[in-house]
Amino acid sequence: MEYRSIDNIDIYDSPNLDRLATQMAKGRYLEIVTDREVRLLEDGYTGFIRTEDLAKLQFSGLVCYYPSVLTEIEIRQRIPDVVAYIQAASQQQNEYLWGGTVPPSYDCSGLIQSAFASVGVWIPRDAYQQEGFVLTIRLEDLSIGDLIFFGTELKANHVAIYVGEGRYIHSSGKDRGRNGIGIDLLAGVDRISQTYAEQLRGAGRVTHCYQA
């Protein structure tokens, strides 16, 4: 059975509810797996919610959520609004929040996912999932709205969105010299840009919507 949220809900990564995994924005759909365990239908993410947050769920029927099906061209037409969402978010008072996907504070992949969701394009939740989901492109072929991935040789653990002229915008934590949303340069010589340059993995383009 499917439920629709009538308010924002925090989703935790264990029944102990001691670490935020993601957030469910008002209007999203989920199914209850067992007791307080839930699965978000737009991206397949699973986690646990507080008992009191069950009151924020409204039964929507057996099958009410229908994934978006958009062409690559339709998605590209929505990219200006994706970038505008992130630029507007950067103008609000914010800080880096692990698991954050609702305003005003986000983590890196939560910001990207929320920006695309704002225009009806659903992509996976975490950076490494997003890297596996997009169409891989060369860095020299970057265009506005493409995603840039950072991390180790084994796995992406950070993601940003390209905004043109060698710049990308992302939400990053204090350990990287920032605490929230900001713009850095692929070829920058400042400490933050250099830190990320050393962890650059590659880039990708969103060409389709996530289908559970």
Residues annotated as catalytic are: 108, 158, 170
Q: What is the largest CA-CA distance in the chain?
A: 54
Whether residue 104 is preceded by a cis peptide bond, meaning omega within 30 degrees of 0, is yes
30, 73, 66, 108: which is closest to 208 by C-alpha?
73
Rounded to whole angstroms, how far apart are CA atoms 147 and 46? 24
User: DSSP string covering 154-203, please?
Assistant: S-EEEEEEEEETTEEEEEE-GGGT-SEEEEEETT--SHHHHHHHTTEEEE
Would you tell me the crossing angle of helices 79-90 and 108-117 to the nearest 10 degrees? 130
State both tokens at 120: 């009806």
